[in-house]
Chain A
Amino acid sequence: MVATPNGFDLDNTGRRIVVDPVTRIEGHMRCEVNVDENGVIRNAVSTGTMWRGLEVILKGRDPRDAWAFTERICGVCTGTHALTSVRAVEDALGITIPDNANSIRNIMQLNLEIHDHVVHFYHLHALDWVNPVNALRADPKATSELQQMVSPSHPLSSPGYFRDVQNRLKKFVESGQLGLFKNGYWDNPAYKLPPEADLMATTHYLEALDLQKEIVKVHTIFGGKNPHPNWLVGGVPCPINVHSTGAVGAINMERLNLVSSIIDKCIEFNKNVYLPDVVAIGGFYKSWLYGGGLSSKACLAYGDIPENPNDFSPEQLHLPRGAIINGNLNEVHDVDPRDPEQVQEFVDHSWYDYGEPGKGLHPWDGRTEPKFELGPNAKGTKTNIQELDEAGKYSWIKAPRWRGHAMEVGPLARYIVGYAKGHEDIKDQVDGLLRTMDLPVEALFSTLGRTAARALESEYCGRLQKHFFDKLVQNIKNGDENTANVEKWDPSTWPKEAKGVGMTEAPRGALGHWIKIKDGRIENYQCVVPTTWNGSPRDTAGNIGAFEASLMNTPMERPDEPVEILRTLHSFDPCLACSTHVMSPDGDELTTVKVR
């Protein structure tokens, strides 16, 4: 048994279960746990098994183009990386953006938060709680009654509507295409919903698909196209011309009205479907409050959504900034990403070399020198690892730390920081939800808390989106159609050397890009992404990361069917895809599921 400095007792003597990757977009993830004789997780090891250094492709390029490359890192967070990148370049070169650009960027970022949260809940995470096969056994009339009870104002609630959906589902399942639903453990007792709740939630899975198609149109309008909207250092690339006869593609009143109607749809969906579903589904899992991990101990948020352009002071940010450490919610520390003592990355358990043990580097000084070696107790070979040795190097993810602390980032971290700071909107939402569900505030520190925080944030972001839309329209009415500042577009206006940092709150959590520019070209570029924080390996002092901590002490109904592991890892919305191979103790593969 080993006690970690951040308060966990690790025991790696029990049966080892391995979670392993196949894919390649944003990084691979592998997870290994040891379970005791009662099937309770007593040790957890999270690793990124793929090396990815963005500096490899960005070094020597034009800083004004960096957004277009970072947009391709990930299949989901494209816009957030692009925004973070242009902010980093603007920070380095002292470029300010106009008011309209701030409003439009905020609308796009908030839109992405909502889109990502809705897609995550219904399409990537709901099936950890909801059983669509069980939905086939539901009584449509009773489902209709349930719907009207949990959300009286939702218009789609008749027995006929649910019967139609059920028939469509039956046809789909009978045609043998189970497709989307094929990787589930549908007879596992970890699923607790009655068939009617399963049918209601599965129906909303389909409604969410319809909604998400609409939501992304905002990116097409402001970004000129979608997928891969355009971004611009100094503002936004879309001209505004509300007096009709302007340039083709300019933002006019018709386009703005479309944005407005999409914002209203987001607000309606959050109010009538998403939040009521989280309350209804969560109600059946109130006794399953595992998965809190680091959330009650150490949370980090950079903050985002500045009310005014170019002002990132904490009181000006709608999504809160701050750090909580040692479980002390009475003190929220401010965060300065420039301070070399605050954000540092460690590599003692990562497959990199910093030349001396225990060394932490600030991202501006970040280095990427690979050193791939397995610890002495690893099983298998370098190309076919059966079991990692977490006492040695075991991950391609570095271990970022804030003043030496392992931190959780993401919607739950943002909400805990906001709650601790007394952020009015956040406090009202959280207290209201806890009252409705009759749960104490400690219930927040759980897998379910993470899932609920995301839903609350989606609702809050809907309101903020409307706020910035109104602000944009008012500013245009006042005669300001400016969307970009190109004063420092020409590299001849830049200093010989400059460095900057861009920060956002990506849907998954705190995202930072650090850039160094020399002679008009990129000298160094480092991204510390949310999943680097959450998926980090142990550090020099032995602190475990957020994924690892969240799995600790969770009981598994059936260790061969890792429903509970998936549920908790999914609650972070990890931006890496992976496959889970459940291994028997002698290394034979028993079964495979996808983890997304």
Chain B
Amino acid sequence: MAPKVLILGIGNVLWADEGFGVRCVERLAQTTAFGPNVTVMDGGTQGLYLLPFLEDADALVVFDAVDYGLEPGTLKIVEDDEVPAFMGAKKMSLHQTGFQDVIATAQLMGYCPERMVLIGCQPVELEDYGGGLRDAVAAQIDPALKIGLDKLAEMGVLPVDGDVDTSNLADPSIMRGAYEGGRPSEAEACRTGDDRFFPESV
């Protein structure tokens, strides 16, 4: 029987490159159809809300922005037992604390998926509230999806012909094109702030 797979993008789209994971699954859902055993989900920053979806899955593929200390825009893949450790190694954001807790909780409850793949991208910029993906990170969406599809193929999970399902994605107003295209200009809405959290210039 085909394994049940959860393909999850996590992160907060309002914080520039932190939206990488969500934008990956957005592209995937718009371009690729799967059988009923595969769920493609925009997990946002939902933490424990995601627990029931993990319970239902035999395998988990996660897209996320992860700080590996690498060159910005670099992809890195970790698998299975390494996933929780990597998510917690250098936390950039609450959603990772939250997601690490989700995995730990699923383990405590005895239903954590055995097979886990984390496809992470080193961000260029996070501290730009309201901003979109930087070019180097946006350019990694397609390569990241190719890696994800290869991993799925190893598990015997292949795309199918048919209509794509975008019903689990964000409202159209917050999809990448509308979100990034509709940003008010810097003159209209200030983008500076605390030295610790905001770039000198955007």
Contacts and interface: CB of A to CB of B under 8 A. Distances in A.
Interface of A: 22-26, 49-53, 55-62, 65, 67-69, 72-76, 78, 119, 123, 168, 172, 177, 179-180, 206, 209, 212-213, 216, 224-228, 230, 351, 368-370, 372, 382-383, 396, 577, 594, 596
Interface of B: 12-15, 18, 41-52, 55, 91-95, 97-98, 101, 104-105, 107-110, 126, 129-130, 167-168, 170-171, 173-174, 182-184, 188-198
Nearest to B47: A75
B192 A370 contact: yes
B190 A57 contact: no
A93 to B, nearest CB: 17
16 contacts: A23-B93, A49-B196, A50-B193, A51-B193, A74-B45, A75-B45, A75-B46, A168-B110, A179-B104, A180-B105, A209-B105, A227-B46, A228-B44, A228-B46, A369-B190, A383-B196
B109 A59 contact: no
Given A53-B190, A228-B44, A180 B104 contact: yes
A368 B95 contact: no
A78 B191 CA distance: 24
Given A57-B130, A227-B44, A230-B171, 6 more contacts: A56-B190, A62-B173, A180-B101, A206-B109, A227-B41, A227-B46
A59 B168 CA distance: 27
Contacts of A123: 48
Given A23-B97, A50-B197, A225-B167, A61 B45 contact: no
Nearest to B174: A68
Nearest to B103: A179
Contact of A72 (B12, B94, B105, B110): B12
Contacts of A56: 129-130, 184, 189-191
Contacts, number: 154
A594 B96 CA distance: 13
Contacts of A73: 14
Contact of A57 (B105, B129, B167, B168): B129
A367 to B, nearest CB: 10
B109 A209 contact: yes
B91 A224 contact: no
Nearest to B178: A65
A503 B187 CA distance: 30
A56 B15 CA distance: 12
A227 B94 CA distance: 17
A463 to B, nearest CB: 24
A372 B193 contact: yes
**Most central of A25, A26, A58, A123 by chain B CB within 10 Å:** A25
Nearest to A217: B52
A25 B45 contact: yes
Contact of A172 (B18, B108, B192): B108
Contacts of A596: 97
Nearest to A578: B94
A69 B174 contact: yes
What are the 3 closest A-B residue pairs judged by CB atoms, nearest first? A65-B173, A75-B45, A51-B193
A25 B184 contact: no
Contact of A213 (B51, B92, B126, B130): B51
A72 B184 contact: no
Contact of B170 (A59, A68, A76, A168): A68
Contacts of A65: 171, 173-174
Contacts of B126: 24
A76 B174 contact: no
